[in-house]
Amino acid sequence: MTGQRTHNASLRAAKAAWMALSAWLVLGAVSLACSGDEPALIALPQSDLVLFNPDAAAMPLTRLADGMQSYSDLFREQGLVDFRPRLFRHREDLERYFSEIDSRGGAFPWVAALHGGYLLQRGFRWGYEPLVCAVVDGSQELTYSLIVRRDSPIQRIEQAKGAILAMNDLGIDVVDWFNVIVFRNQLDLRTFFRQAIETDSPASTVSAVLFRQAEVGIVPRYLLEAMTEASSRIWKEVREISISRPIMLGGVALWAGAPAEFARRVRGLLTSDLRKQVGGPAILDAFLIDGLADCSWEDLDRREGRYLSEAGAAVPDALTRRLELDRLKARWHSELNPPAVRPQATRKGLRRQTGGRFRATGEPGRPPRHPARSG
């Protein structure tokens, strides 16, 4: 019996010691988190990170995936949001994705990499506004090069009629775009060339020209220059016959329903020196850009808007975009921030608020004992 009591006492003592140790560990962890020595683990809001551009096929998917992951790392490191990268190479897929979100009344991705033409025509209808645009060699503009083999008899684009063309994307939207940008609205590549073959990247386009699978190729000029720096053979065997009109480089758009503080911090982060940010150098290297700078609707109208109009595409004016964005902001504010539900008033509470003048029938009670004098 004595042994049993001793055993129980030992168990109680061990349990007390364990509870004391647990409490000490918890208090120590709380004090450490609050001391500033280590950041407290806070669950970040989650959102998709969308990338869409007609030139999405201009780079290997592995490079694009690395760039998207670097964006995610950058925003997570800054304690802003936990991104899930989503890559779209075709407009139809992106529209379907946005429509599904809209139909269920959910929050759209806070950040999306959308090209200027899409923002002007459709992006604003989903609530997106331009935030920043890419910069290469101090410019936000992009040009395309038409290339042929150096020994080709083609000297001007007019001499390429009936030739085989290689380019990295042959979607109908892109074809109309190239007709205006590259061919200056002077020809339709669908009828001018004997055949158009689609490649999976600018490097494949250059290879198609080098190995005589195509007689003419279209590639972004800054990517062509990057390739020639890596291999001097390219400039020795290909040459440019034309350079396109300039367009805006790809950019980042912000969803109008995103929190205001998030928008302010994102703009400051992306326009800072990304070389000094965690994940920043990987973003620049993956997308072959030098940095990001502020971009506005006016910037897009000046380039893309004018070209789209020349191509016969409908481009809503600035007032239409602003009214639609204001409508969407009001809608999302009410949907994502519903008013707090006030508790239903009780009879006792109403009697207290009205000085006893409330009756069960809802009729007024006796007047106050000392009514305020009128007149």
- Are 181 and 158 in a shared domain? yes
- Are 265 and 231 in a shared domain? no
Number of domains into which the chain is organized: 2
- Are 107 and 135 in a shared domain? yes
- Are 121 and 160 in a shared domain? no
CATH number of the domain enclosing 272:
3.40.190.10
Q: Which helix (H) or strand (E) holds 167?
A: strand 164-167
**pLDDT for position 357:** 47
- Are 127 and 156 in a shared domain? no
- Are 205 and 280 in a shared domain? no
Residue 306 in domain: yes
Segments in the chain below pLDDT 50: 2-42, 56-58, 343, 345-346, 349-350, 353-354, 357-368, 370-375
- Are 204 and 284 in a shared domain? no
Per-residue model confidence as pLDDT tens digits over 248-296: 888 899 998 888 888 899 999 999 999 999 889 988 888 888 999 999 9
Q: Which of 227, 245, 263 is the last residue of a domain?
A: 245
Residue 162 in domain: yes
- Are 259 and 312 in a shared domain? yes
- Are 148 and 107 in a shared domain? no
Residue 115 in domain: yes
Structural domain containing residue 203 = 144-245
Model confidence pTM above 0.75: no
Residue 373 in domain: no
Per-residue model confidence as pLDDT tens digits over 209-218: 999 999 999 9
